[in-house]
Amino acid sequence: MTRNQQLFDRAKQIIPGGVNSPVRAFGSVGGTPRFIRRAAGAFVWDEDGTRYTDYVGSWGPAIVGHAHPEVIEAVREAAAGGLSFGAPTEAEIVIAEEIAKIVPGVERLRLVSSGTEATMSAIRLARGYTGRDKIVKFEGCYHGHSDSLLVKAGSGLLTFGHPSSAGVPADFTAHTAVLPYNDTAALEAYFAAQGAQTACVIWEPIAGNMNLVKPSAEFVQTLRRLTAEHGAVLIYDEVMTGFRAALGGAQSLHGITPDLTTMGKVIGGGMPLAAFGGKREIMECISPLGGVYQAGTLSGNPVAVAAGLKTLQIIQREGFYENLADLCARLTQGLTQAAAEAGVPFCADFVGGMFGLYFAEQIPQSYADMTASNTDAFKTFFHGMLARGVAFGPSAYEACFMSAAHTPELIDDTVAAAKSVFARMA
Ligand SMILES: *Cc1c(COP(=O)(O)O)cnc(C)c1O
């Protein structure tokens, strides 16, 4: 038995499923999750001592590479001064000012500890601000695990959703409509019928939780127009895309100013830190200024803020995003060519420092497209690559992440490994 297997067996005796977040259990690809001992730069090492080139990047945060010396030093320094005070600190102001400078839609900002908290709070705020109950999300988009967002689509376009998790009362999701991603006509039909009762639309402005799916320009423009016309708050959930698809997030690529933005992942640099922010008029509805309650014992944690602030400094250095995009282009082109040579149906896409790999003839535009892709082929690819020391996320529905610590040589090694996997798959 490998040490990974021993640890997985032991973990299952005390932690449900052996993991603290479900996708880590390798449920959809089978096999034994790798227990990570340490990470540095573009690599992670498991408990058996095997090194992997890592394209998971802690699901996005590790954009400057794992254990970046400057980030570690900032964390050390902050930790030595105390781990948490439950009182305001100067560093919180500095990071909030920094984020507002980078993200177009942020006039006021509050720090929280997870993306789930950020989206849950943003939705409460949108409801409090508008005095309306209904919210809209899109199929295949993930916004964390709060009750009203764990919803699958209802049977018709204008019906409201059903809970997608046990333990969520149907009443809690009765106000959540789920619409198809990239479907402008469905959006128009919804707003014509329910626009006046709708508090907000929350969306992934580039979807990264059903693999990578980009919105059409028409869909983006229609969403901004309809929410504005009906007085609904437009929430850009940039927990994944913020500081990742581009420095200023997807909103900077879209040329759109959302009403609220949620952020996480990269802003903590690997520590538990997230945020929500946006228009002053809306943000000032939260307590202590307004009637919408929101709080957190560890919110603005000094050690997490130190990691985040240093990460934000590094990503603003000259050429950072150009380099990430070059690396993503090199990898996606290399993989696409290798698959074509082997005759394996495959395509790939990227934006900034995130990319998607699809075992499909065409790049998916929606959740329906994505679920029609070949997940068995992905499983074979995933395990073939893992056996060759390359780690992608253990699910066909996850986007992949590049870091500044990856190099063109490393990308070429990944493509060479993929060639041998594709050859065996053909
Ligand atoms: C990861 C993610 C979340 C949830 O963040 P957690 O920190 O895991 O709670 C929310 N929205 C999007 C778009 C995400 O990718």
337-376 tens-digit pLDDT = 999 999 999 999 999 999 999 999 999 999 999 999 999 9
Quote the number of domains for the chain.
Answer: 2
CATH code assigned at 46: 3.90.1150.10
Phi, psi of 75 (to 5 degrees): -65, -45
d(CA 307, CA 140): 31
Same domain, 304 and 338: no
Question: CA 143 from chain center: how many Å?
Answer: 8
Kindly tell me if the per-residue pLDDT of 18 is higher than 80: yes
Same domain, 47 and 184: no
Q: Catalytic: which of 183, 237, 259, 369? A: 237
**Helix %, strand %, coil % of the chain (to 5):** 45, 20, 40
- Last residue of a domain, which of 315, 336, 366? 315
| Residues, the chain | 426
Same domain, 342 and 301: no
Same domain, 28 and 142: no
Band the pLDDT of 400: cuts 50, 70, 90.
very high
Contact 239, 207 (CB under 8 A): no
- Last residue of a domain, which of 250, 283, 315? 315
> Which residues lie with the beta carbon below 6 Å from any ligand 1 atom?
114-116, 119, 142-144, 204, 208-209, 237, 239-240, 264, 274
Same domain, 22 and 84: no
Kindly tell me if the per-residue pLDDT of 153 is higher than 90: no
Query: What value does the mean pLDDT take over residues 400-421?
Result: 98
101 catalytic residue (yes or no): no
CATH code assigned at 279: 3.40.640.10
d(CA 313, CA 359): 37
Give the percent of the chain with pLDDT over 90. 95
Same domain, 77 and 172: yes
For residue 222, the tally of other CB atoms under 10 A from its CB is 18
For 90, residues 6+ apart whose C-beta sits below 8 A from its C-beta are: none
DSSP state string for 73-135? HHHHHHHHT-S--SS--HHHHHHHHHHHHHSTT-SEEEEESSHHHHHHHHHHHHHHHHT--EE
The pTM is what?
A: 0.97
Q: Of the ranges 114-118, 148-152, 356-360, 394-398, which one carries the lowest mean pLDDT score?
A: 148-152
Q: Is the peptide bond before 288 cis (omega within 30 degrees of 0)?
A: yes
Same domain, 138 and 48: no
Q: Looking at residue 279, what is its pLDDT? A: 98
Q: Looking at residue 155, what is its pLDDT? A: 66
419 catalytic residue (yes or no): no
Q: Which regions of 184-243 does DSSP assign to beta strands (E)?
A: 198-203, 233-238
- Last residue of a domain, which of 315, 342, 361? 315
Same domain, 336 and 269: no
Structure tokens belonging to residue 161: 């959703």
Same domain, 307 and 345: no
Same domain, 189 and 129: yes
265 catalytic residue (yes or no): yes
Residue numbers of the domain that contains 396: 3-67+318-425
Query: What value does the mean pLDDT take over residues 123-147?
Result: 97
Model confidence pLDDT, tens digit, residues 176-212: 999 999 999 999 999 999 999 999 999 999 999 999 9
Same domain, 277 and 341: no
∠ CA 58-64-69, nearest 5°, is 105
Same domain, 278 and 405: no
Q: Catalytic: which of 137, 265, 279, 379? A: 265
